[in-house]
Structure 1
Amino acid sequence: MSLINTAIKPFKATAFKNGKFIDVTDADLKGKWSVVFFYPADFTFVCPTELEDLADNYAAFQALGVEIYAVSTDTHFSHKAWHDTSPAIGKIGYTMVGDPTGTITRNFDVMIEEAGLADRGTFVVDPNGVIQIVEVTAGGIGRDAGELLRKVKAAQYVASHPGEVCPAKWKEGEKTLAPSLDLVGKI
């Protein structure tokens, strides 16, 4: 079953953000747009490139009112140690959620059970706590924050413009479509 258009499930976890340990719950994702960005593990190889890319684009997400939550099955202590020792991870200003029990990872259906690790899952959650975008990639395929940013803008546009949709490669300011009988067979 797809998680698209489903409400996020309850959770509570400890996270590392800006040098502090904080509590994070499902309620923190409500009232604003959020990206929940699962990755397999701290101190790995593809993961820091993705997380650094998000860090480099974090201000652009924040300008859209979007908060980022990076999640792995590591502990919040591991997140701090990685942040303190890796130049790439040291750039991160967004929340790094520890999920050692796998509760959040299972809630979003991205747990690799035999490994106890998360798939590379990306979820965009609207202010009502409803999942609008789901993307899961294989472990060796890194994600692109710029493409994620484009998708978030499209999701926000569609949410604020009922009756319009964003075509492939749509970028902010470009023409959208209004599905109707008049368009059938003309695209």
Structure 2
Amino acid sequence: MALINTAIKPFKATAFKDGEFVDVSSEDIKGKWAVFVFYPADFTFVCPTELGDIADKYEELQSRGVEVFSVSTDTHFTHKAWHDSSDTINKIKFAMIGDPTGEITRNFDCMRETMGLADRATFVVDPEGIIQAMEITSEGIGRDADDLVRKIKAAQYVANNPGEVCPAKWKEGEATLAPSLDLVGKI
């Protein structure tokens, strides 16, 4: 799981997005910030709460130049059926990638091999295709889109302000730190 600061691997897949099946690939994110949200399976319990939470933040993420891709080992056909049958999933506007072979899930090292399902994992990828943040939780622990947005804001701030870092619980507009010998032992 040493994926931080590594490039994502090339991929091609079919996704369900905005009522259509679309081809997506690693080429689609070049030059853009991206979030990959892996989840175990469609028609489950925690997964729709997480995806619905991210759907509520999608417009804000788009305004920050961030594209969102949800990924499970279900097919794009299953994503459409879930979208059509669930009020929560119906509000999703981002691409729901089908990964039935598990190639993308394995590329991000979050496949539960004995089950053929993705872990509950999130990856923030910068415009160069480099993983800047990741979070993986166990099956029953849902993720929080507010914290995801906060991490993206911090990653974008650090990328745009070399020599500065964001401390714990940093919020946009708050003070950052400039690591230096003078700061050692003073925090």
**TM-score, normalising length: structure 2:** 0.99
**Corresponding residue of 2:86:** 86
| Aligned CA-pair RMSD | 0.5
Equivalences, count: 187
* SS at structure 2 position matched to 1:164: coil
- 1:129 and 1:120 map into 2 onto residues whose CA distance is 21
- 1:7 and 1:99 map into 2 onto residues whose CA distance is 19
For 1:144-183, what aligned pairs fall within 5 Å after superposition? Answer: 144-183=144-183
Displacement after TM superposition at 1:29 (Å): 1.7
Give the aligned residue type for 2:26. D
**Corresponding residue of 2:37:** 37
**TM-score, normalising length: structure 1:** 0.99
Runs of 5+ consecutive residues of structure 2 not aligned to the other structure: none
Displacement after TM superposition at 1:30 (Å): 1.4
The answer on 1:96 being equivalent to 2:96 is yes
**Corresponding residue of 1:17:** 17
- 2:53 and 2:30 map into 1 onto residues whose CA distance is 24
- 1:96 and 1:47 map into 2 onto residues whose CA distance is 13
- 1:29 and 1:145 map into 2 onto residues whose CA distance is 20
Write the deviation string for residues 42-90 of structure 1: whole angstroms up to 9, x where unpaired: 0000000000000011111011000000000000000000000000000
* SS at structure 2 position matched to 1:84: helix
Identity %: 73
* SS at structure 1 position matched to 2:122: strand
Displacement after TM superposition at 1:134 (Å): 1.1
Displacement after TM superposition at 1:114 (Å): 0.4
**Corresponding residue of 1:58:** 58
